[in-house]
Amino acid sequence: HMAAPLSVGRLDGCEVDCPLHKGRFDLRTGDTVRFPTTGGLDPDGGYHPPWAPAGAPPKPEPSDDKARARAATRVRRLRYYPVRVRGDAIEVAIPA
């Protein structure tokens, strides 16, 4: 998720929009309501490919939620740990 702050996205009932790629997720179940895009979204909701044609000027950054999310996004390495579910508990094996 690139650590994009979902607090910048839109909340509608129990569904939240990712501010970077406009995916929509149900906070109750974790289900995907709308899959994220892999290209760019314009402020008006239109889609453009993530690249620009040769010689074309770069697209300006949108001054909306997506731009604010990008400014706050940091990509970090994640550590993965073995996990298992036992009854109502989730156990994580964290090295000492």
Each residue of 41-53: pLDDT tens digit? 555 666 555 555 5
Each residue of 32-89: pLDDT tens digit? 898 876 655 555 666 555 555 555 665 665 567 766 776 666 656 678 888 999 999 9
From CA 67, how far away is CA 49, in angstroms rounded?
17
Look up residue 20 and give its two tokens. Answer: 């970077």
Number of Cβ atoms within 10 Å of the Cβ of 69: 21
On whether the pTM is more than 0.75, the answer is: no
Using the predicted structure, report yes or no on whether residue 3 has a pLDDT greater than 90. Answer: no
Distances (CA, A) of 68 to 6, 33, 44, 86, 95: 11, 23, 16, 40, 36
